[in-house]
Structure 1
Amino acid sequence: MNRTITSGILSVVGAKIVVLGVTVVSTPLLYRLLGADGFGEYAFLLSIFAIYMIFVSSGITDGVRKFLAEDRSTPNWMAHVVGFYFRQAVALAVVGALGIVLVTQLGFVAVLFGAELTVYFYVLAVLVLSAQFRDYARKTLMGFGLERYSEPLKVLDKVSFVAIAIPLVYLGFGVVGALAGHLFASAVVATVGLALVHRRISLSCVFSRPTDRFPRTRMLTFNSMSIVLVFLLMSLYHIDIVMLQGFTESEAVGNYRAALTLAEFLWFVPLALQTVYVHSTSELWSQNRRRKITELASRTTRYTFLLTGLMAVGLAALADTAVPLYFGPEAEPAVTPLLLLLPGALGFALARPVLAVSQGEGTLRYPIAATGVAAGINVVLNAVLIPRYGMHGAAVATSVGYGSMFVFHCWSARQIGFDPIADARIGRASATIALAAFPIVAVTASISNPWVALAAVPPFGFAVALAFALLIGALDPAEPFELLALLPDPVGSKANEVRDRLENDDRDGASTRSWFQRVLLVLGLSLLVSGFALGLLGSAVGELLP
């Protein structure tokens, strides 16, 4: 394939940065415009829709990107894969849309969820069609290795949604307006995405019949196993919201969804890795490069732990400031659920890339078993804790379910044939996060102005954590420069020179590292002192600012 895993990750991360920026602006607007009750209904409907779409879409989207990425000598392999999955996409989309209309017409929606939600399900029925082809187009492009096209489509989807949904909600269309935004955006992305797919492989392949050697049985088996796996994953995402809606008011659901939204920011980078690794590691698995897969997975675990652990500490320290500032004073009850969710969100962040590598191998029984146990724990704890403790019980239950994912998927990975913690340095990474937590929390507590805290704490925390990671050995001295070398010149070329010097200077390598670590020790101590000084300055500025 004419791309690298790194280029794919960079494409996905770049798009996710834009999408995150749009989400950061649009989510609190929707929360304020819909109110806690309306936002709770909206979150509940999206959860129901996401669970329903598992059976309509997940086997198709996972299958098309996996099998397109495999090295095959079969004639017209890609055309046959595209046509095979497109036919399935059409059939399942039609059946899925008619299914929603039927159960709504027969009154099951009114009985299960209340008559006031009935009208929303007719909108969801149409959304099934557009969302199906949106996801099919994007995942097909990813299977081709064309993240440079698939990821801008995700940006287009988000921007189009915001451009339609926010004005409609503002004009009084409420939840229907928000759903209409999703409908419009997915239709636009589906149209553009299918046109891009057609440029690579003519969609006339839908009418061509593959030979008898085409592995239909294997592909259908993978599809069905993917549906089971994704259903279990989606239950982790959405069962708490669905169950919470049944036991509490919509306002509590809205505040809990707000807490989840902030906790899910920890998944920013892991989601990008998961998106790329399924089809990227399929190629490595087809070449039986197990050592390379273990190296890739374990380094990913280490980097993910360091980054998301630091983000979790910073978010916990800033929770009292960030939640009411982001969502408004009405969302203050979301602070405690957010703090309860963060440990589990960190565990789920670590599990995501491991799961993606396992999916790339294609044998899904171990990932399904691991996810099933975690999902079972999640359901049982939610059923026990929500009736008594409401959204706080949901947060504890979900956090335990999320966190168990990493433990169970490490077991799954070893059964499949790779070790995601071989070079993860869990002890050193944990020590780095623990040591960095003290100055981060102290500086946050000393700054009284919320805007100063939000501006100053993240870069300070990152610098402190980086210094500790290098001093303790959670990161090798060359590794930060290896990441910087991916940037455009002149930064990339200079970083590459430093990395090569640190890695290849055999004669002076030990003394270079020793010197480097002494410099970092001084830098780390300086950062601690300057951090406390910054906190005092921030507190003084906060007294002057309104």
Structure 2
Amino acid sequence: MFLRRLNKEDEFVMDENNAIKPKSIKVNYIFNLAYEVFALLTPLITTPYVSRVLGADGVGIYSYTNSIAQYFILFGNLGIATYGQMQIAACREERKETSRVFYELWILRALTMAISLGIYMVVSFTATEYREARLIFGVIIFASIFDMTWLFRGIEDFSKVVIRNFIVKIVMIVAVFIFVKTKDDVNIYILLIALSTLLGNITFLFSMRNVLCRVELKSLNILRHTKQCLVFFIPTIATSVYTLLDKTMLGMLTEGTAQNGYYEQAHKIEQILLVAITSLNTIMRSRMSFLFQHGQIDEMRARLNRSISFILLISIPMAAGLIGIAPNFIPLFLGEGFEESIILLQIFSLLLIVIGLSNCLNTHYLGPSGRQGKNNYVLIAGAAVNFIFNLMAIPTYGAVGAACASVLAETLILIGYLYLIRDFFKFKTMIKLGWKYAIAGLVMGCFVSYMGTLPGKSFVILVLQIINGAVLYGIILCLLRDKFLFENIKMIIYKVKTKIHAR
């Protein structure tokens, strides 16, 4: 089925050398951002409704059982998603080699995911609590076999996948509002999420046929990737373990599932904003791998500087804004019973800056330059700090302790990354690139927080906080004459004028 020969009219865009031609970085950023947002937007759109229907305990059951299932998905993935994207990017100029690498990695991933699914089902059948919810999550593990996002990230094309997944997500949203009616519908909610994930991943099958060509089965060497996959497997586990470990330990070390519910909803809001920041990093991983393979180190450094500027430009005001609007936003968005999520969202807002930067350093240089091994030591240390701090803080402070543990661990990882790439990127360069954004963000944050204390309807105050905060941030940067902002404004104006004159 996957190895069939393609018709000429079905082929992906090729150049004269039969190489896959990637779209521009800006186009890829938009499509990748859309894809990531669609993946997170579904639960975010349904969050106000689900929070009110299922309550903190119901959301907590979903959060706790989902965290357990995600461990098995991580082990089944075996680091192939990250490694596979880089390998596809490196060989995309040869369509046949791209196809061969993909099939080798996909078969390896399918085998490891099947083993992981088998173990998960045995564990779930023997579980004494939330057994039905655990078993339903098995569908998501099965769906992960068909997750081929890494292929399209590697060739830098997302358009077809985004459109199909958008349709699936819309159906999912409608289904939640139709079928989830009471606190007892937690399992129905989980089933809808599982089925939408499966359908979304199956759509990859229709897009991949336009990218790959036929290869001989006997030419495949699956085991040659095992060692490198394991190298990328460690950071995948370490970077994911913070959130999963927090949720699992909250379920084990606190009474009931309410703390999981508070944590889940606050973290979900932070994640949707983080996607806007890290989407650029995701698509740049492929481009930076390509540049490193061709020895274009100066171009890599220039692109890293621009990406750091972009991340600081948007992450600092997002973090400052979240801290200021959280007291008004949480009650309006989640409803009564989630007041404890206010402080959690304020703590999580710091991760927008920290993870945005660390993710950028990893995807722009550490990964593409082959320093993943050293990177692993930093991630393992961060995971250990997170685990130890969780043990000390969760029994007393609950979800707040878990959130603080994540911020501490991620900050240590960022410091470790800066040390690892000190010969390529200097810390003082980051200060030089970001000091104006820090000043503007601090002033904006204080102003937005003050506005939140003014009398009036919460919704009106919230809207005014967001609008006035954004305007103030922009004005301050203009007064400080931020070069990066001005360059992008000039570029946008030029492109708009060009399109107008073209008509």
Q: Same fold (TM over 0.5)?
A: yes
Shift of 1:154: 4.3
**Which moved further from structure 2: 240-249 or 88-97?**
88-97
Counterpart position of 1:329: 336
| Structure 2 counterpart of 1:103 | 123
State how far apart, in whole Å, the 2-side matches of 1:303 and 1:492 are.
25
Query: In structure 2, the residue corresponding to 1:26 is in which secondary structure?
Result: helix
1:411 is matched with: 419
Cross-structure match for 2:457: 449
Secondary structure at 2:295's aligned position in 1?
coil
Question: Is residue 341 of structure 1 aligned with residue 329 of structure 2?
Answer: no
Name the residue aligned to 1:384: 392
Match of 1:499 in 2: none
Paired with 1:167 and 1:477, the residues of 2 have a C-alpha distance of: 45
Query: How do residues 251-262 of structure 1 correspond to structure 2 at under 5 angstroms?
Result: 251-262=258-269
User: Aligned pair 1:209/2:229, yes or no?
Assistant: no
The one-letter amino acid of 1:244's match is L
2:437 to 425, 429, 454: 429
Residue 60 of structure 1 deviates from its aligned partner by 2.3
Structure 2 residue matching 1:177: 3-state secondary structure: helix
2:323 aligned residue (316, 320, 327): 316
Q: In the TM superposition, what is the alpha-carbon distance from 1:481 to its structure 2 partner?
A: 1.3
For this pair of structures, how many residues does the alignment match? 479
Runs of 4+ in 1 over 6 A off after TM superposition: 72-75, 491-494
Give the whole-Å Cα distance in 2 for the aligned partners of 1:313 and 1:66: 34
TM-score by length of 1: 0.80
Give the SS at the match of 2:453. Answer: helix
Give yes or no for contact 1:9–1:276 (8 Å, CA) kept in 2: yes
- The structure-2 alpha-carbon separation of the partners of 1:24 and 1:104, relative to structure 1 and needing over 3 Å to count, comes to closer
CA distance in 2, matches of 1:251, 1:150: 36
Q: Which moved more, 1:34-43 or 1:158-167?
A: 158-167
| Structure of greater Rg | 1
Give, in whole Å, the separation in 1 of the partners of 2:183 and 2:276: 36
Q: CA deviation at 1:459?
A: 2.3
Aligned equivalent of 2:101: 81
Partner of 2:241: 235
Could you tell me which amino acid in structure 2 is paired with residue 388 of structure 1?
T
2:150 maps to which residue?
A: 139
Q: Which amino acid aligns with 2:58?
A: G
1:169 Cα deviation after fit: 2.4
Task: Summarize the Cα distance change of 1:118–1:24 in structure 2 as closer, same or farther, 3 Å threshold.
Answer: closer
Matched, 1:119 2:132: yes
Deviations 1:338-358 (A, max 9, x none): 223322443122222222222
Query: Partner residue of 2:201?
Result: 190
Aligned position for 1:276: 283
More helix by share: 1
Deviation, 1:36, is: 0.9
Letter in 2 for 1:455: V
Residues 30-73 of structure 1 deviation map (CA, whole Å, 9 limit, x = unaligned): 22222111100101122222222111125222232211111477
Shift of the 79–262 alpha-carbon distance from structure 1 to 2, 3 Å rule, reads closer
| Counterpart-to-counterpart distance in 2, 1:142 and 1:448 | 46
Give the TM-score normalised by structure 2.
0.87
Deviation, 1:372, is: 2.0
Q: 1:246 to 1:215 in 2, by over 3 A?
A: closer
* Counterpart in the other structure of 2:46: 26
SS in 1 for 2:23: coil
Instruction: Return the match for 2:358 from 351, 354, 372.
Output: 351
Aligned to 2:250: 244
Q: Which amino acid aligns with 1:127?
A: I
Aligned to 1:169: 180
When residues 190 and 232 of structure 1 are mapped into structure 2, their CA distance, relative to the original with a 3 A threshold, is same
Indicate if the aligned counterparts of 2:105 and 2:222 stay in contact, CA closer than 8 A: no
Relative to structure 1, the CA distance from residue 412 to residue 483 in structure 2 (aligned partners, 3 Å threshold; closer, same or farther) is: farther
What letter is aligned with 1:145?
Answer: E
For 1:375, what is the secondary structure of its paired residue?
Answer: helix
Partner of 1:63, secondary structure, is: helix
User: Which residue number in structure 1 is paired with residue 90 of structure 2?
Assistant: 70
Provide the rounded CA distance (Å) in 1 between the counterparts of 2:115 and 2:206: 24
Residue among 380, 398, 401 paired with 1:393: 401
How do 1:211-226 residues align onto structure 2 when only pairs under 5 Å count?
217=224, 219-226=225-232
Q: Hey, what does 2:33 align to over in structure 1? A: 13
| CA deviation vs aligned residue, 1:304-324 (integer Å, no higher than 9, x gap) | 123111111111111111011
The SS at the match of 2:130 is helix
Distance in 1, matches of 2:116 and 2:192, equals 20
Q: Does the 8 Å CA contact 1:33/1:170 hold for their aligned counterparts?
A: yes
Task: Give the structure 2 partner of residue 290 of structure 1.
Answer: 297
Deviates more, 1:52-61 or 1:36-45: 52-61
User: Would the aligned equivalents of 2:250 and 2:394 in 1 still touch at CA under 8 Å?
Assistant: yes
Matched with 2:8 is none
In 2, Cα distance between equivalents of 1:382 and 1:473 = 43
- Corresponding residue to 1:264 among 268, 271, 275: 271
Aligned match of 1:539 = none
Of 80-89 and 116-125, more deviation after overlay is shown by: 116-125
One-letter identity of the residue aligned with 1:208? L
User: Which residue matches 1:511?
Assistant: none
1:60 matched residue in structure 2: 80
Tell me which amino acid in the other structure corresponds to 1:259.
A
One-letter identity of the residue aligned with 1:39: V
Change (3 A) 1:458 1:280: same
Change (3 A) 1:15 1:76: closer
In angstroms, what is the RMSD of aligned CA positions?
A: 2.7
C-alpha deviation, 1:467, in angstroms: 2.0
Partner AA of 1:94 in structure 2: A
Give the C-alpha shift of residue 170 in structure 1: 2.1
The alpha-carbon deviation at position 80 of structure 1 amounts to 0.6
Residue matched to 1:50: 70
Please list every run of 5 or more consecutive structure 1 residues that lacks an aligned counterpart in the other structure. Answer: 495-546
**In structure 2, what is the equivalent of residue 540 of structure 1?**
none
Distance in 1 (CA, whole Å) between partners of 2:97 and 2:439 is 49
**Shift in CA distance, 17/60, structure 1 to aligned 2, threshold 3 Å:** closer
- State the distance in 2 between where 1:35 and 1:429 align: 38
Q: How much has 1:140 moved relative to structure 2?
A: 1.4
Q: Cα 1:356–1:476, aligned 2, differ >3 Å: closer, same or farther?
A: closer
| 1:502 counterpart residue number | none
Contact 1:302 1:426 in 2 (8 A): yes
- Shift in Å, 1:8: 0.9
Measure, in 2, the Cα distance between the counterparts of 1:476 and 1:95.
49
Deviation of 1:291 after TM superposition, in Å, equals 1.6
SS at match of 1:330: coil
- For 1:316, give the aligned amino acid: I
